[in-house]
A and B are shown apart, each in its own frame.
Chain A
């Protein structure tokens, strides 16, 4: 078995040893699990809603190409400029050229995981444009020069004391471990940024094809400000976020907020349908939408892997994942951590770059049990493990397939097959093993670093059953 250390292994080992980090995550995830549980107190209703949610998402995926065209048409009719990007680089180029055209130097951002996916902040900085995060969690993470460690709560890895230190050091405000005070101070700083920014950039939770509406779910009001105060608004989304009808958003919204934070509904649900009209008092003068592929069409082409695209980014799978709880989001080393990250990142970055992710799961199934749109995450993990061992990589459309088809592993598994395929040889081997049990090694690392080895039985079950049959 391959146990050489890779970057994921190193990072996760370090994370497991970081006691403070583990305590932060454990308590945060415990809280989130409890809240979700309370929000879904009627299990039958939850189940019915999950079925509906999964159907709504599946329905829009089945019709994805048509719905995207319809969305584009509707948005253009309403004056939104629609851009298509196949790769992160293309998406960045589009945003950079809008910025240059608008002669913008400052972008205020609402929360957007897709912008993290394309590493927008760094890329904009390279051309001298400043991106300022306005979501409180993102703002904290940005001050710390880090990336989000959770897709809904980006700064969840930090406790109040750490945040108080950070705000004091970076912004000079008085150090008080008081969430309300800190929020108030941050808000004052952010207000200024909203007024000064030339462009507001946001993500999209659902895009409705029927009406050409971009929906944005948020709690802090920063999303509303981002999309209305600056004179230009750029929205960015993965192509899978489209839904067919306006009414589709109702079950999804309900599932999203309750799965994510246990809220029955969020404070804000923004529905954006174009730039300011002539007789309107506010709103941006121009609105752009960037539609990003980045490996998504690769999933789209496969009946099974397609299920990944149902995801509504609620993070319930992370909150309930025993692995995520113990290593936190940064250890994964990619934009999307946790169970969804393990099945999504291999498509975005290729299996060769992400080969440890699908293996880093005990397949316990907690993620699939809570997923509001019923994504069979463990099955997809097994599928991706298979893709990593793909004997003929050319016949797979998963980027990086076959990366593990080398070394001793395939040999070991064919030996294993040979051993377990025939009853006689199997019994011969197992009987010999149990006879030679006195030779059994006492240690077998890494198993025995923290556990004892189970002792081989004196007589195998087969032998005992055989002896009985003969009596």
Chain B
């Protein structure tokens, strides 16, 4: 049978090769300074996670810059189908990080928005190029700590068993699921266990959890069961959305709970190495 050739469609081939090229992800060498993008959920609800991230970066000898005018990555509007609104807010963010430093984000989901979706959002506009360059500088914070900072972690905490919830955006967009694990594995008194169905979504999905509460609830209940079944002392997540969702469900339904109600992975790590004090928030 003669071999026939397809119409070459470069854009398709490019987009199709994403999955294959991901293991070749490139990292910069350790910079002197980085920008931190805080995310709106960290800002309002989990500032401790943000502070922990900052302390860990500084612990690694990297200076942190924090433009005070940053707000939100624009994802809520984007995924709700309000592209214009998302674009205005995204544009405001892009104008704030003018030096060439990497931009690190303590959330797979907001990171995914800025890395994967900004270029789409501005495709064919005058900001096309800018969005492309901006997105190339985005890193998820745990991923950055592991692959760029080469951070030495000395565990000062007691023996504990931890279940890690890995978010869909870190798995499928940022491809950083292993980074959280890698950080935790450095802590010698932490016994990391993997819940069943670890790849399944916790049911947050932003507006999805409000628009379709019954389905979302069924999902988070199952997620909670899988986490509880590990008999871990607590669970961690490096995504505030998931954390809010699973933690909220865990606190509501205490009877079903065998584990403490969960915290951000960065707060946990910072506490274990003595950078912040106190028990779980």
Task: Report if A359-B208 is in contact (Cβ < 8 Å); known contacts: A366-B199, A446-B213.
Answer: yes
How many residues of chain A are within 8 Å of chain B by beta carbon?
87
| B interface, size bucket | 35 or more
Residues of A within 8 A of B45 (CB): 454-457
Shortest Cβ distance from B87 into A: residue: A417
Residues of A within 8 A of B215 (CB): 12, 16, 323, 326-327, 360
Tell whether, in the assembled complex, residue B69 and residue A382 are in contact, meaning their CB atoms are under 8 Å apart: no
Question: In whole angstroms, what is the CA distance A410 to B68 when docked?
Answer: 28
Tell whether, in the assembled complex, residue A454 and residue B43 are in contact, meaning their CB atoms are under 8 Å apart: no
Decide if A97 is an interface residue (CB 8 Å cutoff).
no
Kindly specify which of A55-63, A80-88, A132-140, A311-319 makes contact with the partner chain: A55-63
Shortest Cβ distance from A10 into B: residue: B214
Tell whether, in the assembled complex, residue B248 and residue A47 are in contact, meaning their CB atoms are under 8 Å apart: no
Decide if B98 is an interface residue (CB 8 Å cutoff).
no
- Apart from A423-B68, A450-B213, A450-B217, what 7 extra A-B contacts exist at CB < 8 Å? A55-B6, A59-B6, A389-B82, A420-B92, A421-B71, A446-B210, A447-B209
Tell whether, in the assembled complex, residue B38 and residue A451 are in contact, meaning their CB atoms are under 8 Å apart: no
Number of A-B pairs, beta carbon distance below 8 Å: 232
Q: Which of A327, A450, A461 contacts B220 (CB 8 A)?
A: A450
Decide if B88 is an interface residue (CB 8 Å cutoff).
yes
Residues of A within 8 A of B78 (CB): 382
- In the complex, 19 of the A-B residue pairs with CB atoms within 8 angstroms, ordered by the A residue number, are A51-B17, A55-B9, A55-B12, A63-B7, A322-B219, A327-B215, A359-B208, A362-B219, A374-B15, A404-B81, A410-B82, A413-B80, A420-B89, A426-B71, A461-B38, A461-B42, A461-B51, A464-B51, A465-B51
Tell whether, in the assembled complex, residue B208 and residue A447 are in contact, meaning their CB atoms are under 8 Å apart: no
The smallest beta-carbon distance between B50 and chain A, in angstroms, is: 4
Decide if A126 is an interface residue (CB 8 Å cutoff).
no
Question: In whole angstroms, what is the CA distance A413 to B38 when docked?
Answer: 21
Shortest Cβ distance from B41 into A: residue: A454
Task: Report if A413-B85 is in contact (Cβ < 8 Å); known contacts: A47-B20, A450-B220, A454-B244.
Answer: yes
Task: Report if A417-B88 is in contact (Cβ < 8 Å); known contacts: A1-B211, A446-B213, A447-B210.
Answer: yes
Tell whether, in the assembled complex, residue A366 and residue B7 are in contact, meaning their CB atoms are under 8 Å apart: no
Decide if A386 is an interface residue (CB 8 Å cutoff).
yes
Top 4 closest A-B pairs, CB basis? Answer: A423-B69, A362-B205, A451-B248, A385-B81
Classify the secondary structure of A's interface with B: helix
Which residues between 103 and 118 of chain B lie within 8 Å of chain A, taking CB atoms?
none
Decide if A469 is an interface residue (CB 8 Å cutoff).
yes
Tell whether, in the assembled complex, residue B79 and residue A382 are in contact, meaning their CB atoms are under 8 Å apart: yes
Q: Per-residue 0/1 for B227-257: is the Cβ within 8 Å of any A Cβ (1 yes, 0 no)? A: 0000000000000000011011101110000
Decide if B16 is an interface residue (CB 8 Å cutoff).
yes
Decide if A247 is an interface residue (CB 8 Å cutoff).
yes
Shortest Cβ distance from B66 into A: residue: A465
Tell whether, in the assembled complex, residue A359 and residue B212 are in contact, meaning their CB atoms are under 8 Å apart: yes
Task: Report if A451-B251 is in contact (Cβ < 8 Å); known contacts: A3-B211, A360-B212, A365-B172.
Answer: yes
Residues of B within 8 A of A439 (CB): none
Residues of B within 8 A of A382 (CB): 78-79, 81
Residues of B within 8 A of A51 (CB): 13, 16-17, 20
Question: In whole angstroms, what is the CA distance A449 to B214 when docked?
Answer: 10
Shortest Cβ distance from A51 into B: residue: B16
Residues of B within 8 A of A395 (CB): none
Q: Which of B38, B204, B217 contacts A362 (CB 8 A)?
A: B204
Kindly specify which of A67-75, A195-203, A230-238, A427-435 makes contact with the partner chain: A427-435
Shortest Cβ distance from B45 into A: residue: A454
Tell whether, in the assembled complex, residue A421 and residue B211 are in contact, meaning their CB atoms are under 8 Å apart: no
Residues of B within 8 A of A386 (CB): 81-83
Residues of B within 8 A of A407 (CB): none
Question: In whole angstroms, what is the CA distance A56 to B208 when docked?
Answer: 34
